[in-house]
Amino acid sequence: MRLTTLISSILLSSTALLAGCSVSPVTGEKQLALMSEAEEIQTGQQAHREIIAKNPPYQDAGVQAYVSRIGQLMAAQSHRNNLRFTFTVLDDPAVNAFALPGGYIYITTGLMAYMNSEAELAGVLGHEIGHVADRHNVQQASWGVVGSIATSVIGEKIGNKDLLNTIGELGLSNYSRTQELAADGLGAEYLARAGYDPANMANVIATLQAYDQFKGGGSDPYRDLFSTHPNNDVRLQQLIGQARRYGSGTRDAGRDTYLRQIDGLRLPLGNGQTVQVRLLTVRPGDNFNSLAASSRLSNNAAMHLRVLNGLFPNGEPVPGQLVKTIQ
């Protein structure tokens, strides 16, 4: 029996043995899910307790309340708005956001520092809500179980478990990319449903790409899918176009509102010291080179300020504009 035929046979039989297919809350199509909604919520609750024990929430009630308010607005637009979503800002300089099963959403202070509007924050949260809405974590866990069974059974038949592990990793990687693109589409849809311009989903990805490029490497293989600027990527623009049927974006993006909310945001340096995101109003003659001279950034500080303010790689501020710096 050919390897591909054997793998397909084992996966299909394992899936049939372990569970029937559930239905996607988003598409209505069948999907593998070996966990009920109640089990999903219970799993998320337990994981949430573990995360909070290891990664303390950011100690600013105002910031937590603001993120929760925007998160709840976005969750109300989702395909699983029956869930009790929980939003937590983690005190972590890493640029990251993630979701747990059952509606637990996290964003780090590090990522918040690089967002430049309320709509962009909503896009990040909408993306993570999309993962929960389509039960992506549950699907991954379910396929992990099936994959473990398949690896064990096939490994015994062909005597090469290392090869099977490699094949499994490649399969999960591709599946994860598919999920990420789907979550972008859902994030854009929920933005539109909430009244924001869904194009802010592209702004989020552009900022994350700029951050990766500034830091010197593709830290996220998924974002490498967008070989051009997200505004020019056909797949992403198709998703944004589809989202526009729910609205064209009459709600203000809330740039200054968001910036004022994160003014004073503290970021740990890892050596017991912290820096803060501070706002300033650009004066005539200011540029990022002059602003960098008074910041606590080092190593190409002017370019870092461009990334921080969504003006990478060669943008400059204009007089009267609010910009972020690090003090």
pLDDT digits (tens, 9 = 90+) for 23-34: 666 655 555 555
Residue 282 has what pLDDT?
98
Residue 225 has what pLDDT?
58
Q: Please determine, for residue 105, whether its predicted confidence score (pLDDT) is greater than 80.
A: yes
Preceding omega of 313 cis (within 30 degrees of 0) = yes
Q: Are 240 and 188 in contact (CB under 8 A)?
A: yes
| Token pair listed for 170 | 């490649």
What are the DSSP E strand ranges found in the chain? 21-23, 30-32, 86-90, 97-100, 104-108, 266-268, 274-281, 322-326
Residue 276's SS3 state is strand
Q: Please determine, for residue 109, whether its predicted confidence score (pLDDT) is greater than 70.
A: yes
Confidence band for 130, pLDDT divided at 50, 70 and 90: very high
Average pLDDT over residues 32-42: 72
Residue 18 has what pLDDT?
45
236 vs 57, higher pLDDT: 57
Distances (CA, A) of 197 to 20, 190, 308: 39, 10, 21
Pairing of strands 21-23, 266-268: unpaired
Average pLDDT over residues 193-200: 97
List pLDDT tens digits, range 54-65. 999 999 999 999
How far apart are the C-alpha atoms of 140 and 159, rounded to whole Å?
26
Average pLDDT over residues 164-173: 38
List pLDDT tens digits, range 243-267. 999 998 999 999 999 999 999 999 9
